[in-house]
């Protein structure tokens, strides 16, 4: 397995750039996957690299949409090779900026909780669509810091798409109702 050196840069508070250097003399690092852990609002979800040759440096760029906050936030990235975790890197987003984002828990069921990271005082809109694109649920709410609960027990089993949006942020998540 290769030796991996990591560094990062924050660009204009909207981009995290991870630089990966294979410091090994002869062994390439293969099937590399870089993925943020439990941090909604970062995209893409992961970056795949086929190989980092000995002495070679590659860059992985992740983006996020910040909003003003009073405290810093840490993002933990995992770097995998052939499915095995080989390194982690913590990146701290400085005070004054925080990630937008939303997570759904669980993603399979009838009752869901939205765990969100958005500024207070704005309106959040949630719409749920079936696989035919028909809107089957809709609600607007103001964030209060608590998870928002959604009960979909009246819907038939199937795959649905949850659209969470504000004036400045939008994400779509797949959920399974059973």
Residue 152 and residue 137 share a domain: yes
In total, how many domains does the chain have? 2
Residues 88 and 135 in one domain: no
Cis ω for the linkage preceding 44 (within 30 of 0): yes
DSSP letter at 156 equals: P
Give the C-alpha separation, 172 to 53, whole Å.
36
pLDDT digits 0-9 by tens, 56-68: 888 887 776 665 5
Q: Tell me the pTM.
A: 0.52
In DSSP terms, 24 is beta-bridged to none
Domain end: 42, 70, 93, which one? Answer: 93
- Could you count the other beta carbons within 10 Å of the beta carbon of residue 68? 9
Q: How confident is the model at residue 12 (pLDDT cuts 50, 70, 90)?
A: very low
Residues linked to residue 73 through DSSP beta bridges, in sequence order: 93
CA distance 133 to 176: 15
Question: pLDDT at position 25, please?
Answer: 78
According to DSSP H, which parts of the chain are helical?
A: none
């Amino acid at each position: 397995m290769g030796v991996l050196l990591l560094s990062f840069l924050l660009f204009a508070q909207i981009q995290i750039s991870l630089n990966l250097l294979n410091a090994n003399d002869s062994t390439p690092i293969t099937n590399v996957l870089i993925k943020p852990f439990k941090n909604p609002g970062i995209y893409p979800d992961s970056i795949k690299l086929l190989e980092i040759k000995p002495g070679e440096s590659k860059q992985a760029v992740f983006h996020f949409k910040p909003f003003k906050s009073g405290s810093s936030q840490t993002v933990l990235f995992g770097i995998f090779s052939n499915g095995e975790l080989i390194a982690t890197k913590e990146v701290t987003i400085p005070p004054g900026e925080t990630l937008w984002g939303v997570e759904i828990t669980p993603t399979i069921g009838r009752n869901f909780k939205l765990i969100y990271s958005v500024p207070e005082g704005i309106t959040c809109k949630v719409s749920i669509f079936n696989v035919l694109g028909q809107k089957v649920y809709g609600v607007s709410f103001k964030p209060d810091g608590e998870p928002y609960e959604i009960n979909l027990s009246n819907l038939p089993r199937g795959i649905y798409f949850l659209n969470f949006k504000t004036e400045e942020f939008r994400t779509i998540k797949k959920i399974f109702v059973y």
